[in-house]
């Protein structure tokens, strides 16, 4: 079972299951980074090409460039049932993609070498994809609530309480694609009787159930591994020392922040880009911060 992630052909072990693009999902719309030079520059803005077109000319120089140019790992919820569902939507797009998918059972899918750019968070300065690595984490977010579902309409909430536990009502066609047989998607934490969390992010109240326990465990491994592979992505998350809280809105210094942050931290909606809210109200930022700090003490 593979547990390695890849940048410019360089691989490192991260301690959790990773399915690479040659065995799982291949990014349908990768691009060249304009800040890097070890590829045909025509790949920077051209429509998606055949896989054979995406060649790294000098992997050693490419890796050196990548470590100097990339300093953010951006976390997303995919508003989908699963990573298989998310990939279907990426394939239907003419430009969207993500370096990683994180499925409900904690399986990570790397869709392309991290040298390439994927287009899922332009940020308010429209340069976000140049400086970032992305991970789309399976979670329906607001789509799970019947009253807020926009493109997955339902007459009932998609989480139901069974034997005292909230469980995602996952359609069979997606359940069959989860690699862990018989996996039941349950939130790592719940909020009171209603189950879902509710917080205002970039001006909108976001209601959603939490990510699963295996997702948090795998994400922590990914964050630590990405930092080892690309040290410019520091093992830190947005945190306000004065208030002792994790900000959820767009950061003032969002373009310069070096570390792990959410799509909402870089994109409130300017220059004709949409406002974003992920990884949302349920995401456990204190847990991730603590895990990164504990790892730093071991290093």
Beta bridge partners of 117: 31
Residue 94 lies in a domain: yes
Residue at 201 is within a domain: no
Residue among 116, 135, 97 nearest 288 (CA) = 135
Measured between alpha carbons, how far is residue 61 from residues 27, 55, 69, 117 in Å? 23, 13, 12, 17
Is there a domain that residue 205 lies in?
no
d(CA 254, CA 72): 10
Would you say residue 150 lies in a domain? no
**Which stretches of the chain score pLDDT less than 70?**
none
User: Cis before residue 45, ω within 30 degrees of 0?
Assistant: no
- Structural domain span for residue 79: 4-141+211-298
The CATH number covering residue 93 comes to: 3.40.80.10
Distance of CA 239 to the CA centre of its chain: 19
Q: How far apart are CA 18 and CA 101, in angstroms?
A: 10
Within-domain flag for 102: yes
The domain tally of the chain equals 1
Q: Are 24 and 109 in contact (CB under 8 A)?
A: yes
The whole-number pLDDT of residue 229 equals 98
Q: Which of 182, 144, 150 lies closest to 166 in space, CA to CA?
A: 144
Beta strands, E only, 176-269:
197-201, 204-208, 259-262
CA distance 74 to 258: 11
Q: Is residue 168 part of a domain?
A: no
**Per-residue confidence (pLDDT) for residue 298, from 0 to 100:** 83
CB 123 within 8 Å of CB 273? yes
Examine residue 119 and state whether it is found in any structural domain, yes or no. yes
**Distance, CA of 153 to CA of 147 (rounded, Å):** 9
Radius of gyration of the chain (CA): 18
């Amino acid at each position: 079972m593979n547990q390695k992630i890849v940048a410019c052909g360089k691989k490192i072990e991260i301690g959790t299951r990773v399915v690479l693009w040659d065995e799982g999902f291949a990014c349908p719309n990768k691009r060249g980074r304009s800040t890097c030079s070890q590829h045909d520059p025509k790949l920077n803005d051209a429509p998606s090409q055949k896989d054979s077109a995406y060649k790294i000319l000098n992997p050693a120089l490419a890796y050196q460039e990548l470590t100097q140019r990339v300093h953010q790992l951006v976390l997303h919820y995919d508003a989908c049932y699963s990573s298989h569902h998310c990939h279907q939507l990426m394939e239907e797009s003419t430009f969207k993609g993500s370096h990683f998918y994180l499925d409900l059972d904690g399986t990570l899918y790397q869709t392309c070498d991290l040298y390439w750019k994927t287009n899922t968070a332009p940020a308010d300065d429209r340069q976000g994809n140049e400086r970032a690595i992305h991970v789309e984490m399976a979670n329906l977010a607001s789509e799970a609530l019947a009253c807020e579902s926009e493109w997955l309409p339902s007459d009932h909430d998609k989480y139901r309480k069974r034997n005292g536990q909230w469980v995602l009502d996952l359609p069979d066609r997606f359940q069959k694609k989860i690699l862990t047989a018989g996996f039941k998607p349950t939130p790592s934490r719940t909020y009171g009787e209603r189950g879902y969390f509710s917080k205002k992010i970039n001006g909108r109240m976001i209601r959603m159930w939490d990510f699963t326990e295996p997702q948090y465990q795998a994400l922590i491994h990914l964050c630590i591994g990405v930092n080892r592979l690309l040290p410019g992505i520091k093992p830190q998350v947005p945190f306000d020392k004065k208030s002792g809280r994790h900000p959820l809105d767009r950061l003032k210094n969002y373009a310069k922040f070096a570390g792990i942050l959410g799509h909402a931290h870089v994109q409130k909606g300017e220059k004709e880009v949409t406002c974003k809210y992920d990884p949302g109200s349920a995401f456990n930022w204190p847990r991730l911060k603590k895990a990164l700090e504990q790892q730093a003490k071991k290093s």
